[in-house]
Each structure stands twice: as C-alpha cells, then as structure tokens.
Amino acid sequence: MGTAVFMVLMVCGYWYTSRDLSTRFKIKRTFGWDVYFLVALYGCIFVLQGLVATALIWLVLLLTSTIMNATSYSLADHYHHLQMDFMNWSFLGIQAPVIIMLTFAVIFCFYRSNWAGSARLDSAGRKDLYKRLTHSNGVEGILFQCMEEGHLAWITLKSRRIYIGMVHTTSFENSATANVVLIPMLSGYREGKTLNLCIEHNYSAWYDEHDITLDSSPRSAMDFRKVIMASQIESLSLFDAASATALSMRQGERENEGKTA
C-alpha cells in the first residue's frame, strides 16, 4: 500500500510539473535535488487533497448513519454504521479508502494540469507570469524589459564582441541551450588595451537605406537576427545612443586634457 501511495504521489507530481505552464517555467529554473523535492511537493499536495476528499466522504457516511439511526428508519436493534463499513471495505487486498484517496489525487492532478484556468494562460497571462519569474534573475529581467518597452540591449560577449539591437525572443528553460535572439542594429568589438567600442557594422543605416523593416518583404530585419548563447554573454545592459555618445565625448575630453597636461 505504501508503494502504491508513493508511486501515485511521484507520478502526479511529475505530470503536473511537466504540464502546467507556470510550474514548468519554475522547474526549468531548478537544478539538482531541488527538482525531485519540487516534484514530490506537488505530489504530496494532490495526495493530501485526495485524503481530504476521502475524509469528507467518511463524514457524509457518518452523518447519514446518525440520521438513519435517529429516525424510525432503523429496525429493531439494527444500527447503521456506514462509515465503519466504508473503512473496512477492501478491493484486491487494498482498503477501499486508500484507492478512493489515490483516485481523487489523480483526478485533481488531471484537472489542475489540463482543465484549470491557470493551465491555459492567454498571451496577457503568459506575459504577467514571465514578468514575475524574471524578477529573481537580473539577466532575464533586463531582456524582458527590452522586449516589453522596446529598448535596445547592449550585449558584450566573452570574446569582447559587442552586439547592440532589439531583443526578439529569449529561452532560458534549458541551461545547456539558453539563448537570446537579437535583431542587430550595431556590432563591433572592444579594443584590446583601451577597451573602447569600435563599430564595424551599422545595421540600422543599412536597414534604412534598403527600406528593411520587421515585416518588409522579400527581406525583413528578421533575416539578420543573431542567436547568442547565454553562456557566451559577459555583460548585458540597456543601450541609449544619446547617453553613450555623451559618455564617449566626456572620456575623449579627459584623454585630451591628460595629454595636454
């Protein structure tokens, strides 16, 4: 009996965490033994719900027996103990309350995984869910802000390669394949000694020259998108052309002052 309860507990936990959208996002960000404990936690919740439902059935049978024994329906000295009969009933060597409890657990699991409103989020619900999840991760938070508000992202790779552009999509569900899809506007590199930004390609000027937009045809800006692996990103920040130009000019003035001094 204990084996049956454990199997149903783990199966329900796994089914729910792999089907429910919000829980699937959470478990993809969990590693090691935490994954097993999270699956077991959700399985315990469904088993406890089944236990509560079975206890309610027992209370209903107890109330029914009490009413029947208190009325003229009981004959002679025969008293009804429906709750006791329910507890003593067995099926295939397993007590019926245990089977009913596990059945309720499976039903609740299927309902929460497939038919509940939280399992079928619309686009607005998905957006709110992802926004809540990205609060605990600085990288995902900036990327989500770029996608939501239309800001440009400044991505510096470990190879000192730099891409500045619009964040199209991100994928962090699997740490091995986590990536950022970027529509580049500028690209370049940092110099070896001064680490100054050197622009090599101005995609935005080329887009404007050839009337290329996000939905133009036969070619669109999506044809130039870059897939950047998250493991290759060294730093990430929002990009503002005016601020970057002002900082660059101030740095140049300081260098000139140092030379003249």
Q: What is the DSSP string of 101-127?
A: HHHHHHHHHHIIIIISGGGS--HHHHH
- What is the chain's pLDDT, residue by residue, as a tens digit (261 residues)? 677 778 888 888 888 887 776 676 667 666 677 778 888 888 899 899 988 998 898 888 888 877 777 775 555 556 667 777 777 776 666 677 888 888 888 888 888 877 655 555 555 655 666 666 666 666 777 777 777 777 888 888 888 888 988 888 887 766 677 788 899 888 888 777 776 778 888 888 888 888 888 888 888 888 888 898 888 888 888 887 655 554 454 444 445 444 454
CATH, range 125-239: 2.30.30.100
What secondary structure letter does DSSP report for 219?
Answer: -
Can you give the pTM of this predicted structure?
A: 0.55
197 within 8 A of 164, measured Cβ to Cβ: no
Q: What is the dihedral of CA 127, 133, 137, 141, to 10 degrees?
A: 20
228 within 8 A of 142, measured Cβ to Cβ: no
Indicate the pairing of strand 197-202 with strand 233-239.
unpaired
| Assigned token pair, 204 | 């935005």
The alpha helices in the chain, defined as continuous H runs, are 2-19, 21-28, 33-70, 82-88, 96-110, 123-133, 138-149, 203-209, 241-260
Tally of CB atoms within 10 A around 170: 21
Cβ contacts of residue 35 below 8 Å, gap of 6+? 27
Residue with tokens 């990009």: 239
- 257 vs 261: CA distance, rounded Å: 6
| Assigned token pair, 143 | 């990327």
Task: Supply the pLDDT for residue 234.
Answer: 86
Task: Supply the pLDDT for residue 25.
Answer: 66
Tally of CB atoms within 10 A around 154: 20
Task: Supply the pLDDT for residue 149.
Answer: 77
Identify which of 223, 160, 157 has the alpha carbon closest to the alpha carbon of residue 193.
160
Burial 2-16 (b: 16+ CB within 10 A, else e): eeebeebbbbbbbbb
- 166 vs 221: CA distance, rounded Å: 10
Cβ contacts of residue 73 below 8 Å, gap of 6+? none
Give strand pairing partners of 37: none
